[in-house]
Structure 1
Amino acid sequence: MSDDQFLTPEEVSKRYRDTVTVGTLENWRALGIGPSYIKVGKAVLYPIEELNAWDRNNMVVCRKSKVIGRSRITDG
């Protein structure tokens, strides 16, 4: 098991710029939601490939806009 393939809950929190806290990750694990993880003894580890998949599954895809910008017409 290579260390660079897994992140600790603290590292996952940093990955998401602290918008997902360690406490939130704990709650999600208790509820059976959130990104997949493995448990080795008491250690909780998140496989990076699972985090990447979770990111893709939660991506919000916006509709293509018909109007990109506004034209401004001025009198001469």
Structure 2
Amino acid sequence: MDATTQITPTFLTQRELAELLRMPERTLEDWRLMQTGPPYIKLGRLVRYDVQDVLTWVHEHRHG
């Protein structure tokens, strides 16, 4: 990778992450309140999830 190459992280909205994980958006909201879900970023009123953080979190919570 040279100095001119930039890495662009991919961020998901709550809706996009809920669709990816196949769960209700409300579950993600509850997890944020309980501080138990995947890491998220607050940009003003907007909530975003870094895909790499979510994948790491999912792998850390695997069973079996």
TM norm structure 1: 0.69
List gaps (5 residues or longer) in structure 2: 1-7
Query: Per the alignment, in what secondary structure is the counterpart of residue 46 of structure 1?
Result: strand
Higher relative contact order (CA 8 A, sep 6+): 2
Q: Give me the whole-angstrom Cα distance separating, in 1, the residues matched to 2:61 and 2:34.
A: 18
Q: Give me the whole-angstrom Cα distance separating, in 1, the residues matched to 2:26 and 2:58.
A: 19
Q: List 4+ stretches of structure 1 deviating above 3 A.
A: none
Aligned residues: 57
Q: Percent identity?
A: 33
1:14 aligns with 2:31: no
State the structure with more CA Rg: 1
1:5 aligns with 2:10: yes
1:24 aligns with 2:27: yes
* Structure whose residues are more often helix by fraction: 2
RMSD: 1.3
Deviation at 1:7, TM superposition (A): 0.4
The one of 34, 37, 53 equivalent to 1:50 is 53
Q: Give me the whole-angstrom Cα distance separating, in 1, the residues matched to 2:12 and 2:47.
A: 9
